[in-house]
Structure 1
């Protein structure tokens, strides 16, 4: 699970914005289990 404003990565390289939204099976998505569905968007 990512929180608003949370920093991820090494701090080197290009900065990008990440948006993640679990669509089906929020808990399963967070636990990395099968049969979950999430959408991920990355923009620079």
Structure 2
């Protein structure tokens, strides 16, 4: 994918994915059930 065409202007990093994993592993997500989190920086909305 060409970065300039990406909705947020950059390609995701391992740190981006790690932050999502940490959210689901934390108490902050205790009320989240049955969620599917798409980690594509908005690319699937194009």
What TM-score results when the alignment is normalised by the length of structure 2? 0.28
Larger relative contact order (Cα-Cα within 8 Å, sequence gap ≥ 6) = 2
Higher relative strand content: 1
What TM-score results when the alignment is normalised by the length of structure 1? 0.29
Higher gyration radius (CA): 2
